[in-house]
Amino acid sequence: MMKVLLVEDEPKMVRSLKKGLEEHQIEVDAAMDGAEGGRLAGVNDYAVIISDVMMPEMNGLDMLKQLRQNGNVTPVILLTALGQTDEKITGFEAGADDYLTKPFEFRELLVRVRALARRPKSSYQQTPAILRFADIEMNLDKKECIRDGQRIQLTPREFALMEYLLRNPGRVISKAEISTQVWNLSFDTGTNFVEVYFNFLRKKVDKGFPKKLIHTQFRIGYVLREKADLEES
């Protein structure tokens, strides 16, 4: 039976979600704040962690940051009443894998929990530990990215995006593909989420270097290459 951790300070929400998940053969441990959630996540093996953001004692973001700093890679879904792009980016920067804005349909949560639980834990062990392109080198084991001898500090979301580009050099990648394949998110044409992250990445990877490697293919997507094309914008 799949086992998940639910970190939520509203008793009514805890009872409702716990009942719904257990009806679908998902075992649930519950914690009322981030401190207790972090303790449980440190001693138990969960398929997925579902966490509210706004909680007393320790909030969900601080708990998530602490888990990632301690090397815990369990997939995390954040639940919050905040739905703006900036708030979502903050959550993803902290290491979240998915994001649901309250109120939400239980069926949507269930689908996302099952999707994250299906991710093979050994997926990155089946690929080379070092990725290289031009003067960039990425060490997947150490989570390091270096360009021309200079270490580039990337957030987890930026690292995942750069890794995907390095695995697909020279290929134009659409925004929809990036959303689904890199972050496991449904592509929302009404937000500029992908553009925001590429701006972040360009400032760190290309700014200050004479050769630009991350390019925009007008109306199509993005590509990692050493030379720009005439169609670029």
pLDDT in tens, 28-79: 999 999 999 999 998 899 999 999 998 888 899 999 988 888 778 899 999 9
Question: Nearest Cα to 156, choosing from 77, 85, 89?
Answer: 89
Asked if CATH classification 3.40.50.2300 holds for the domain at 2-117, the reply, yes or no, is: yes
Task: Please report, rounded to a whole number, the percentage of residues in the chain having pLDDT higher than 70.
Answer: 88
CATH 1.10.10.10 segments of the chain: 124-224
Residue ranges, comma separated, of all CATH 3.40.50.2300 domains in the chain are 2-117
**pTM (two decimals):** 0.58
Residue 199 has pLDDT above 90, yes or no: yes
pLDDT tens track for 151-193: 999 988 899 899 999 988 988 999 888 888 887 766 665 678 8
Sheet with strand 130-133: strands edge to edge: 130-133, 136-139, 144-147, 150-152
Specify the CATH number for 124-224; select among 3.40.50.970, 1.20.120.530, 1.10.10.10, 3.30.470.10.
1.10.10.10
Which residue did the predictor score with more confidence, 171 or 233?
Answer: 171
Give me 86's structure tokens: 């900036």
Backbone φ, ψ for residue 113 (5° rounding) = -60, -45
Backbone φ/ψ region at 51: left (φ over 0), alpha (ψ -120 to 50), beta: beta
Q: Give the burial class of 12: count Cβ atoms within 10 A of its Cβ; 0-12 exposed, 13-18 middle, 19 or more buried.
A: exposed
CB of 51 closer than 8 Å to CB of 100: no
Most confident of 14-23, 61-70, 112-121, 122-131: 14-23
CB 156 within 8 A of CB 68: yes
What ranges make up the beta strands (E) of the chain?
Answer: 2-7, 26-31, 48-52, 76-80, 98-101, 130-133, 136-139, 144-147, 150-152, 214-217, 221-224
Pairwise CA distance, residues 114 & 36, whole Å = 24
Nearest CA to 101 among 67, 55, 53? 53
Which bin fits 143, alpha (ψ -120 to 50), beta or left (φ > 0)? left
Q: What is the pLDDT of residue 230?
A: 40
Residue whose structure tokens are 């290459």: 225
180 Cβ neighbours under 8 A, 6+ residues apart? 186, 187
